[in-house]
Amino acid sequence: MINVPRTSVACQQSAALARAWAAAGGVFDPEVPVLTIADLGVLREVRIADGAVEAVITPTYLGCPAMAVIALDIETALAKAGFARCKVTTVLSPPWTTDFMSEAGRVKLKRFGIAPPAGKASRRALFGEERVECPRCGSSHTTRVSEFGSTACKALYRCDVCSEPFDYFKCI
């Protein structure tokens, strides 16, 4: 631990940055409301320059209709945290993949009843045999019902053991 005087400008700035990260990163994905945009890896960067906060986000899918809502929620969260001036920018590179999702995010997803992405989003994982575990009973005897589910990022599965249908957050 480095002992920095609490009053130093650098310290204040880093405290402000940490607050901005916490506020922006705490915004929930409107379509998967157990995950924050920090869990998802959608929030790429938070910067402060001249007292204005810039939050940088990246879409999970180009057509993701949640992006506009997420941007608005970030602005609201930052305003509530006391940042009067803020803007949200979008970047596409590097493209978002399910590998960006945090370990905590995967655990939360499973607890919510959505199977987290299995393996890495390499081409092999995209098109190899996927072993998707049922988020309810844990069995890996599951059947894909449809590659396209309730939102762009999910596929529909059914468990062959407990017979429950469930969503799978697919690798991309």
Partner 1 sequence: MLGSSSALFGYLLRLGDNALMLGHRLSEWCGHAPVLEEDLALANMGLDLIGQARSFLSYAGEVEGRGRDEDALAYLREAAGYRNILLVELPRGDFAFTMVRQLLYAGLTQRLFEALATSRDSTLAGIAAKGARELAYHVRHAAEWTIRLGDGTEESHRRTQLALDELWPYTGEMLEIDEVERTLIEQHIAVDPAHVRPGWEQALSEVIRQATLQLPNQNWMQSGGRIGRHTEHLGHILSELQYLQRTYPGAKW
Residues interacting with partner 1, by CB under 8 A?
A: 59, 61-65, 91-97, 121, 123, 126-127, 145-152, 156, 170, 172
Q: Tell me whether residue 81 or residue 172 sits nearer to partner 1 (CB atom).
A: 172
What are the angstrom distances between the C-alpha of 92 and each of 11, 79, 88?
A: 32, 25, 14
Cα(145)–Cα(22) distance, integer angstroms: 38
Question: What residues are paired with 171 via a beta bridge?
Answer: none
Closest approach of partner 1 to the CB of residue 39, in Å: 20
Task: Collapse the DSSP code of 93 into the 3-class scheme (helix H, G, I; strand E, B; otherwise coil) and give the result.
Answer: coil
Closest approach of partner 1 to the CB of residue 123, in Å: 8
Closest approach of partner 1 to the CB of residue 127, in Å: 7
Q: Tell me whether residue 65 or residue 113 sits nearer to partner 1 (CB atom).
A: 65
Q: Tell me whether residue 41 or residue 149 sits nearer to partner 1 (CB atom).
A: 149
